[in-house]
Copies of this chain bind each other. A is one copy, B any other.
Amino acid sequence: MERLRKIGFSKLTPLEEASDLLLSNISLTTVEVVETSSSLGRFLAESIKSGLNIPPFDRSAMDGYAVKAEDTFGSSPQNPRNLKLVGKIEIGEKSEGIQMKSGEAIRISTGAAIPLGADAVVKIEDTKIEEANISIYLPIVPGKNVSRKGEDIPQDSIVLNSGTEIFSSHIALLSSLGIETVKVHSRPKVSVFATGDELVEVGQMLGENQIYNSNSPMISNLTQQYGGTVIREETLKDDKILLKKKLYESVEDSDLVIFTGGTSVGTQDFLPETIQENGTILVHGIAIKPGSPVLIGVVEDKIVFCLPGTPVAAYLCFVELVGMALRKMMGASEIDPRTETVAKMSRDVPVSGMGYIHFLRVKIEKLGNEIIAHPVKLKGSGIISSLVQSDGIVKIHPYQEGLKKDDKVFVIRLK
């Protein structure tokens, strides 16, 4: 216990406090310029102002006839007003020089420019045409079926703020404004190490009492999903000199370093000592289950995570802490990308060990106009299968004595 207290593990930090401490130690990555069409999943490092009006000109929102609205006043199915067809305007055609007079109509396609003199569009369905005579059956008001220049986006308005995550719809918006490139924060470079004498790489023979390394492929893929670039993925023995060497090597060229395993109090867990001797421990031990042995440190100004060795704990610590750190480094205004669903518990869930946030894994089911959350049965302590069987997690807070059937909960969706 002496050694434990020395490395700061005896006191567990609440998750929120740990998270705040972590995020206050994050630095932004450098800014780079990327093509708009290749910016999916990045975060804007600039605000975007529109150089254009959208629509760029008054345009028709319907296939129909451009008219002067007042020419339609008083029309009805019994008493249609008659207008004279004097031309047509297709999308992309210049309407320059066309000047419509009272009593006239011009055939117009959706998206085409409204000609001078016209102020509304009659839908094709509300008319009847015979040669050059168009009968209008319904009166319309000025502006009807016309999209006004700049009504969606006025020129010089801010359309996207710095920190916005770029989805396909943002790429459409940026493209429609003619914006070819955007400034974004570069992807954090990440080193991933799995530690443990018991680990064997997939593809090799498994010896007695050994297990396959499943953490580093999982953590590397999560890193990618969260926008980082894995520049190093290695499996290391529990060897203090080796760990120190790899730590120094990686803080040199990485923005973030992740170890899995070796954070607990087993007699061979050298990582906490190694971090403390070569940098600062921000947090060691967080009041979460699973995942409590997690360690967050800073070495040479780089954040270093030591995640628990059990895959479920490593996964949960990643999505609760590492992922948000990665997004913060890229300037994300929303650091948690996960979606939440309101659901009703299908049964009671008691918890043992108050004072912790418990991550309950659940399957969800749509039933009528509700979503039901079913706790996933845990058969063992490794429980790697519990993650793939789950649709989401429910956080049971330290002040809650478990959950009751029909309790309303927020399910955080897994991906």
Contact = CB atoms under 8 A, between A and B. Distances in A.
A196 B55 contact: no
Contacts of A167: 388, 414-415
Interface in A170-197: 170-180, 196-197
Interface string A207-230: 011111111011111101100000
A90 B268 contact: yes
A42 to B, nearest CB: 12
Nearest to A88: B267
A124 B9 CA distance: 14
Interface string A67-107: 00000000000000000000010111111100000000001
A414 to B, nearest CB: 7
A63 interface: yes
Interface in A203-252: 203, 206, 208-215, 217-222, 224-225, 238
Contacts of A176: 211-212, 214, 311, 384
B380 A148 contact: yes
A206 B266 contact: no
Contact of A172 (B57, B95, B179, B214): B214
Given A209-B93, A214-B176, A37 B220 contact: yes
A282 to B, nearest CB: 23
B111 A309 contact: yes
A355 to B, nearest CB: 14
A170 B96 CA distance: 60
B415 A224 contact: no
A111 B177 contact: no
Given A173-B385, A380-B148, A36 B266 contact: no
Interface residues of A, number: 102
A289 to B, nearest CB: 13
A160 interface: yes
A92 B384 CA distance: 19
Interface string A317-336: 00000000000000000000
Interface stretch (A23-31, A295-303, A337-345): A337-345
A346 to B, nearest CB: 15
Contacts of A286: none
A107 B214 contact: no
Contacts of A173: 214, 384-385, 387-388
Contact of A63 (B93, B264, B387): B264
A265 interface: yes
A90 B195 CA distance: 14
B267 A109 contact: yes
A383 B173 CA distance: 10
Interface of A: 36-37, 40, 52, 54-57, 61, 63, 88, 90-96, 107, 109-113, 124, 147-148, 151-153, 159-160, 167-180, 196-199, 202-203, 206, 208-215, 217-222, 224-225, 238, 264-268, 309-311, 315, 339-343, 366, 369-371, 379-385, 387-388, 408, 410, 413-415
17 contacts: A61-B381, A92-B196, A107-B267, A111-B266, A112-B198, A113-B208, A147-B382, A152-B379, A152-B382, A152-B385, A168-B219, A168-B225, A169-B387, A176-B311, A178-B206, A178-B212, A369-B410
